[in-house]
Amino acid sequence: MSYFVTGTDTDVGKTLISCALLHGFAAAGKRVVGMKPVAAGCDEQDHNDDAQRLRAASNVLASYGQVNPYCFTQAAAPHLAARFAGVRINLERIVTSCRELEAQADVVIVEGVGGFCVPLNDEQDSADLAKLLNLPVILVVGMRLGCLNHALLTVQAIAASGLTLAGWVANGVDGQMMMLDENIVALRQRIDAPLLGIVPYHQSAPDACKIAEYLDIAQPAR
């Protein structure tokens, strides 16, 4: 029951939805742990805020290194942040950490970085990582102008990778978006996967535990 969470872009709420999924599965009695394989932007302790939020939403205690194998100081595209640090992101190392987490938990929620096709090194991207992990994908659609194109192209990329799109979440990131309901209808007509939830726009930082109430964790396809 593990999933790879990707988004239509950066800053569309992947961490929020990943944490909400963790809370939802935990409330259903599952042992859960979150994973952020690659993070760009860390504090003086070499810890990333998104990774820390995933750890806080987990009920399985895992080491920071397992949850976040690669953390870079520069808040840039991961392959560039890695290059700046003199590091090459090794996808096999990430797969090993994920398998270790799977041995400890019923559900592992793996949060990708940026969009589905963001480069991770000179040859491989986030889609390659998802394929190596071989997990069903949950797509977070940031509901704002331009999201239809981004969402449908991402759905095509997921299908081309041979992975299952387990479902998608409509996450309100623009409180002024016009025709929100009509855009959601357009996506429902075109995405052959269940809509797992519609999360309204929140002005202040939302509580992932409360956001879990908007999600139907029983729906994701396998």
Q: What is the per-residue pLDDT for 75?
A: 87
Q: What is the per-residue pLDDT for 221?
A: 58
Q: What is the per-residue pLDDT for 67?
A: 96
47: which residues sit within 8 A by CB, 6+ positions away? 64, 68, 71
pLDDT in tens, 18-33: 999 999 999 999 999 9
> 136: closest CA among 103, 158, 106, 104?
158
Find out whether 5 and 108 touch, Cβ atoms under 8 Å: no
What percentage of the chain carries pLDDT values higher than 70?
A: 98
Find out whether 12 and 173 touch, Cβ atoms under 8 Å: yes
Q: What is the per-residue pLDDT for 42?
A: 83
Residue 202 is given by DSSP the state -
Q: Which CATH architecture best describes the domain 3-214?
A: 3-Layer(aba) Sandwich (3.40)
pLDDT in tens, 154-203: 999 999 999 999 999 999 999 999 999 999 999 999 999 999 999 999 98
Higher pLDDT, 97 or 220: 97
Band (pLDDT 50/70/90 cuts) for residue 217 is confident
pLDDT in tens, 82-136: 999 999 999 999 999 999 999 999 999 999 998 999 999 999 999 999 999 999 9
Query: Cα–Cα distance between 143 and 218 in angstroms, integer?
Result: 23
Give me the residues paired with residue 109 across strands.
3, 34
- CA angle 77–80–86, rounded 5-degree value: 140
Choice among 35-44, 185-194, 204-213 with the minimum mean pLDDT: 35-44
Tokens representing 17 are: 């939805």
pLDDT at 219 over 70: no
Query: Cα–Cα distance between 206 and 222 in angstroms, integer?
Result: 28
Domains of the chain, by residue range, sit at 3-214
Catalytic positions? 36
Query: Cα–Cα distance between 71 and 38 in angstroms, integer?
Result: 6
Look up residue 16 and give its amino acid.
L
